[in-house]
Amino acid sequence: MDRSITVSGYTVTHTDIVRVCVIVSLTLSCIFITSISLARHVETIYAQLFYFPILYATYFYPKRGLILAGFCAVVYEVLAYVYVFPDTAGLIYTTGQAILFICIAAVVAYFTEKINTSETRYRGIFETSLLGIVIFDQNTFAIRMSNSHFSEMIGYTPEELGSMTFAQLFNGRDEQRRFFEYLGSSEDVVNFETTFLSRAGEPVWVNLSWSRIDGNLVSCSVIDIHQRKLAEQAAEENFLQYKQVTEHAPTSIVILKGTGIVYANPTFRAFTGYEQDELAGRDILTVIHPDDRDRFPVIPGTPDNGQTLPTMTEVRFQTKSGDIRRGTLFFTWILQKGSPAVLINLVDITEYEQLKKTIQQDNIRHQGMISTVAKELHSPLQPIMGYLNMLTQNPETYGVTEETRTILDRVTKSVDRERQVINQMLELSDVDPGRNPLEYTTFSVPALIRSIVDNGGYTSKAELVVDVPPDLDVEGDKEKISTVIDSMLSNAVSYSKPPRKIRISYVSTPNDTMHRIAIQDNGTGITNTQLDEIFEPFQLPDTANGSRKFDRAGLSLPVAKKYVQMHGGFISVDSIVNIGSTFTIHIPKHRQAGVTHGA
């Protein structure tokens, strides 16, 4: 770097000082020699001497060179008047020479300015370019010039690069050999990817493009592609890992572009019976059962055109052997080799569907068995209840003592409890809209709750709070909804801890589409595992420890659930163990279309 000094606020480099000294020396020398030449009439020398300082100054300092040319012209003209006057022809000649000084200086200054402007523009582009630029000798590979961006790219200073060869920058002999082959094969090369070795010893991926400036010099632009290459390598590693996952995935995976299959993993090939070459490029609709092709969604071209993929679809597939299999499809947008594609995860539910049919058939048989058993048990209970009532109501007639009557009362209660269980079994087996349709009426909910509370004697068993609007009417099957509320209330009382506190409240809003009646207790609570079981027949929350503390068969909740479902509603449960539970009955405010009901 050129050194400089500052004088009175002006910064002057050492090079400028030397040039000024040369210009001053040449100018003084020319004036001295010209004076002697004019004095001795040596006309062939004195005029041309002034071109040396003028051309030198104009080349390095075009504007100041013009000033020097004017000064030299004036000095030359003064000298001519001193030594040539009164020779008119000689004065005209010297005046022409003086004018010629200025004209030549102006021409040189003009072209020098053009050259300097082009050079400045080139240097500006060279230094400020976002690309690394290197100029090297194609014979010796010595680096002649390099910009700052290239220096920062590989960590060397410009001085260090100036003492190196371009070939030394490559990461190993193999990369050097590839570079030499490309350099010798063509005058100009574009997009040559290779790796340089940085000053820290780390490989740096670069993209080279070069062209020859003249017979010896080569200009090479260098683009840093290190981060891109690292990302590509990471993407390739991720793809390999992803491929390993998909190849060994237990679920079928298919990648589509449009409806054409571009990839199918081994599980999908086993599912359909086709090989990879048979599936590649094939329309997926050709392996879907003809009756289900309309159910397969339309695949949009890109994820940006406003259309969305479905979350899930179930269709049947026709395998190569002609078998019918059923699958659940899940759709996801992905990038496949840089372009959008759809990934489908397919879950084989063929065996599940068969199992579901088997379970349905078993449930029908089970329901029939329950109905048959309940009816068989119900028949002998009638005469037993009759005889027990006869003995307890007329003890004197049949000679029943007070002690015996106490025993008979206990037996009567046990038989009555058994009768209730059998009636619930019959209700559960007969909960079928076809055989037991809904009888829709409009009834008052507060009146219904009062009737249930009075008949069940719940006020004597618990502290009961009813928070229901007095004018609340509901359209539904009054008897079935009464059974549902009674079952919920009975459970709340049975499972509450003393002092038992039960709250019945209406929690629906005016804009709600459902009537919501909540029954809250302060009981033992229900665990998450038990929540999945309490609506199953013969399941009780207290059976986990085998205690059967409340001595119940567990049929009231399944019956209540089915009655509510017949109305198009559902029952939800919120429970905290040892705090209590809230059962909420959700009944549509308006009769559901398609619900079977009585005439």
- pLDDT tens for 417-458 read 676 666 666 665 555 545 567 889 999 999 999 998 888 888
Q: Span 215-226, mean pLDDT?
A: 85
511 pLDDT above the threshold of 70: yes
The CATH number for 318's domain is 3.30.450.20
Check pLDDT > 60 for residue 231.
Answer: yes
Total domain count, the chain: 5
pLDDT band at 40 (very low <50, low <70, confident <90, very high): confident
Which of 372, 401, 430 is where one domain is finished? Answer: 430
Token pair of 505 as six digits: 């409240």
Q: What are the DSSP E strand ranges found in 198-348? A: 203-212, 217-224, 252-257, 260-264, 313-318, 324-336, 339-348
Q: What is the mean pLDDT of residues 189-194?
A: 88
Q: Determine the pLDDT at residue 125.
A: 56
C-alpha span between 500 and 306 (Å, rounded)? 57
Q: Is the pLDDT of residue 62 over 70?
A: yes
Query: Which residue in the block uniquely carries the two structure tokens 């002999």?
Result: 173
Question: What is the sign of the dihedral through the CA atoms of 587, 590, 595 and 598?
Answer: positive
Same structural domain, 580 and 459: yes
Of 99, 127, 155, which closes a domain? 127
**Over residues 312-317, mean pLDDT:** 89
Q: Based on the domain organization, do 326 and 387 belong to the same domain?
A: no
The pLDDT confidence band at residue 359, using thresholds 50, 70 and 90, is: low
Give the whole-number percent of the chain exceeding pLDDT 90.
17
Q: Is the per-residue pLDDT at 369 higher than 70?
A: no
Pair 154, 54 in one domain: no
More confident residue, 27 or 475: 475
Cα(161)–Cα(173) distance, integer angstroms = 19
Residue 598, domain member (yes or no): no
| One domain, residues 121 and 181 | no
145: part of which helix (H) or strand (E)? Answer: strand 143-146
Same domain flag for 476 and 385:
no
Residue type, 594: G
How far is Cα 284 from Cα 317, in angstroms, rounded to an integer? Answer: 10
Evaluate whether 325 touches 317 at the Cβ level (below 8 Å). Answer: yes
User: Residue 590 is encoded by which pair of tokens?
Assistant: 């308006």
Q: What is the DSSP letter of 550?
A: T
Q: How many CA atoms does the CB half-sphere of 190 hold within 13 Å?
A: 0
Specify the pLDDT at position 400.
78
* Mean pLDDT, rounded, for 62-76: 83
H/E stretch holding 143 reads strand 143-146
Asked if the structure places residue 525 within a domain, the reply is yes
Confidence of residue 504 (pLDDT cuts 50, 70, 90): very high
Residue 238 maps to a domain:
no
Does residue 573 form part of some domain?
yes
Domain boundary among 430, 451, 475: 430
Q: Domain range for residue 296?
A: 249-345
Domain holding 470: CATH number? 3.30.565.10
Domain presence at residue 493: yes
State whether 295 and 193 are in the same domain: no
The rounded mean pLDDT for the chain is: 80
Establish if 542 belongs to a structural domain.
Answer: yes
Domain annotation covers residue 165: yes
Kindly indicate the confidence band of residue 503, based on its pLDDT and cuts at 50, 70 and 90. Answer: very high
Does residue 123 share a domain with residue 19?
A: yes
Task: Note whether 360 and 310 are same-domain residues.
Answer: no
13 lies in the same domain as 74: yes
Q: Give the pLDDT confidence score for residue 597 in this predicted structure.
A: 45
Of 146-155, 268-277, 529-538, give the lowest mean pLDDT range: 529-538
Phi, psi of 289 (to 5 degrees): -55, 135
Do both 300 and 369 map to the same domain?
Answer: no
Question: Is 213 in the same domain as 303?
Answer: no
- Regarding whether 446 and 401 lie in a shared domain, the answer is no
93 vs 117: which has the higher pLDDT: 93
Q: Is the pLDDT of residue 555 over 70?
A: no
Most confident of 33-47, 68-82, 197-211, 332-346: 197-211
Residue 596 included in any domain: no
| pLDDT, position 469 | 94
Containing 83, the helix (H) or strand (E) segment is helix 62-83
pTM for the structure as a whole: 0.38
